[in-house]
Amino acid sequence: MDRTTSWNDEAARAIIEAGSRAATDFLGTDRVGATSLLPILHALQEKFGYVDRAAIPTIADVLNISKAEVHGTISFYHDFRSEPAGRHVLHLCRAESCQAMGSERLAAYLDDRHKLQPGVTSFDGTLTLENVYCVGNCALSPTALLDGVPVGRLDETMLDDLIAAARGDRP
């Protein structure tokens, strides 16, 4: 399920300029500084799957801030990737409510059985496992998201199915 396209400086610049304009149009003032930075970074990651370092000078130029400020923001937030993830991303919730229902056991299972560790992409490039701290599905713990789709009341069998689906690129 490769939704993203490979990095392209020109397309990136267009996204950055459009993001900056949208914020200024809405806030109707020229004193809004770098307010469009997060929307721009999300738009870049949506399009390319990550935020290439090549975007930093362009963003700095368009928003009239320093490259250090752009880098500072990108590096602060867990969401922004500096390189593409695997074709699928599995977010496993590791927060308290899911802990109370066995998420730590599931994390150990992913490691033992599927050789998946948080923050790492599998060797075949299929799947990236990420920790997440709460997705607001605490009443149906434990929870994971596969490519943003929530799965509640998770157990080992369901994890096997999700991973098989990801590996086979089935929906």
Interface ranges with other proteins (CB under 8 A)? 26-29, 31-39, 41-42, 63, 65, 69, 72-73, 76-80, 95-101, 104, 132-141, 143, 148-153
CB-nearer residue toward other proteins: 3 or 124? 3
CB-nearer residue toward other proteins: 12 or 40? 40
CB-nearer residue toward other proteins: 32 or 56? 32
Angle between helices 9-27 and 55-63 (to 10 degrees): 30
CB-nearer residue toward other proteins: 123 or 140? 140
Q: State in angstroms the smallest separation of the CB of 9 from other proteins.
A: 21
Q: State in angstroms the smallest separation of the CB of 114 from other proteins.
A: 18
How far is it, in rounded angstroms, from Cα 31 to Cα 68? 20
**Residue written as token pair 């969401």:** 79
Instruction: Determine the residue type at 50.
Output: Y
Q: State in angstroms the smallest separation of the CB of 131 from other proteins.
A: 9
Own/partner pairs for 114-122, CB < 8 Å, 24+ apart? 114/159, 114/163, 116/90, 116/163, 118/92, 121/85, 121/86, 122/86
Q: State in angstroms the smallest separation of the CB of 124 from other proteins.
A: 26
Q: Nearest 5 degrees, angle CA 91-CA 131-CA 45?
A: 65
Sequence-ordered alpha helix ranges (H) in the chain: 9-27, 37-48, 55-63, 67-76, 96-99, 103-114, 156-167
CB-nearer residue toward other proteins: 124 or 136? 136
Q: State in angstroms the smallest separation of the CB of 103 from other proteins.
A: 10
